[in-house]
Each structure stands twice: as C-alpha cells, then as structure tokens.
Amino acid sequence: MKRIFDLSIAVPMLVCSLPLLGGVAIIIKTTSDGPVLFRQRRVGQGQRLFTIYKFRTMHAYAELDGPTVTRQGDQRLTRVGSMLRRLKLDELPQLYNVIVGEMSLVGPRPKLASHERMHLHCRPGITGAATLVFAREEEILARVPEEHVESYAVHVLNPIKARLDTEYAERGTFLSDLRILAGTAFRLGKRHAITTLPELSEVDRHSEFRS
C-alpha cells in the first residue's frame, strides 16, 4: 500500500510540476556553467547503491573542493542554488527516483556510503522523521569550523538521524507518513535545538574530529 500511495502522489506531482521543472532547468543553465542535474550514488534499501537526482545548486565540480555536506553561507553555492535549497525545489527531480522504486516519499534520507549509520530495511525517502527534526541543519553546521564540518556531520549528526529513522522504520504507519508529509509541506516539523547537540569544544577534544 505504501508503494501504491507513493505512485499515486509522485506521478501527478511530477506531471503537474513539469513547467516548473523546465523553468528551473533553464534558470540553472543560463546562470552558471555545468549540468542542470546533480547525480550522486547513495545507499538505498538493503544497502544497494542507486543514483539520486537533484537540481544542481553548486558551482560545477564543487564536490571536489570542500566537504560533501553544506552549511549556511557555503561559498560553493550559486545564487540560484541558495534559493532552490531554501525552497526545497532542488529535491523535485527525486520524484523520478520514487516512481522507479528507488525511493519513497517518506523514509530515511539516502546518504553516501561513507556517511551511512544504519541498515536500510526500507526505501529511503524525499522527507522523513530526521529530515523534519534537522530542517535547519545548515544553520547547525554553520557553527562548526569548516575543517570539521564533514566529521561533525558524519560522527555527531548522522548517528542521531539514524536513531530517529530507525524508530520510524520500526513504528511508521500510513498516518505517521501523512503527518511527516504535512509537516514537510507546511514547515510544521520540530526543529532540533542546537543547544542539545555536543558543544564544539567537546568535539575538538575528540580525536576523530581532528584535522
């Protein structure tokens, strides 16, 4: 039933958003060099890798120059890219991933293999329990020194996300999926308080965060 629900939402959304997708593609192509779409291998259900699609929000080949995660004020973002991220329009191409069965509307966000901290028994999602909690993740990472951003995301934030997503995978229902989708659409999700995360001084003393 979850798969039927995904298709019943994703297919009409993709069709209805085609004019928007075309407009965004033209803006990206005319304002910066590089491809319109960003492609990356991510971990899917059963730890199988798949290619995720997003609208490109950074300068071409920016992933080769800096951490694989972004934070508020990241200089690699294009002007259009910052707006797309703020409005979450960069995620729209993932409707294709949902339609072909690689992703779901709701589930753990798919991560790079080196960043994954849980075994995915379900399809990864466009949005999910941890996505709502960390809706302001880029603001959190803005407090972290640039040389520690990736380690902080992988070793501090991702285990918390894995715990939240594991709880979702074990207890998730059709109604909880609807609540998560509503929270995503209307920005009603809880924001994880920055003060509950490990202080940077504690992180700096931990050897795995040393440069």
> Which tens digits make up the pLDDT trace of 109-167?
999 998 888 888 899 999 998 888 888 788 888 888 888 888 888 888 889 899 999 99
- pTM for this prediction: 0.84
Q: Residues 125-161, buried b or exposed e (16+ Cβ, 10 A)?
A: bbbbbbbbbbbebbebbbebeeebbbbbbbbbbbebb
- pLDDT at residue 100 above 50? yes
Lowest mean per-residue pLDDT among 12-21, 92-101, 130-139, 193-202: 193-202
Mean pLDDT of 10-33: 96
Short-list 131, 97, 103, CA closest to 45: 103
Cα separation of 46 and 138, whole Å?
28
Short-list 29, 52, 164, CA closest to 113: 52
Of 93 and 86, the structure prediction assigns the larger pLDDT to 93
Q: How many helices (H) and strands (E) does the chain have?
A: 10, 4
Please give the single-letter amino acid code of residue 34.
G
Helix axes 18-31, 79-87, angle to 10 degrees: 150
Domain containing 71 equals 2-209
Domain count, the chain: 1
Of 64 and 184, the structure prediction assigns the larger pLDDT to 184
Phi/psi of residue 127, nearest 5 degrees: -135, 165
What is the band of 171 on the pLDDT scale with cuts at 50, 70, 90?
Answer: confident
User: Where in the chain does DSSP place strands (E)?
Assistant: 37-43, 49-55, 104-106, 125-127
Mean pLDDT of 178-183: 90
Cβ-based neighbours of 32, under 8 Å, separated by 6 or more: 56, 59, 60, 78, 80, 81
What is the band of 202 on the pLDDT scale with cuts at 50, 70, 90?
Answer: very low
What is the band of 206 on the pLDDT scale with cuts at 50, 70, 90?
Answer: very low
Average pLDDT score over the chain = 85
- pLDDT at residue 203 above 50? no
- Neighbouring-strand partners of residue 58: 77
Cα dihedral sign, 199-200-201-206:
positive
- Neighbouring-strand partners of residue 125: 104
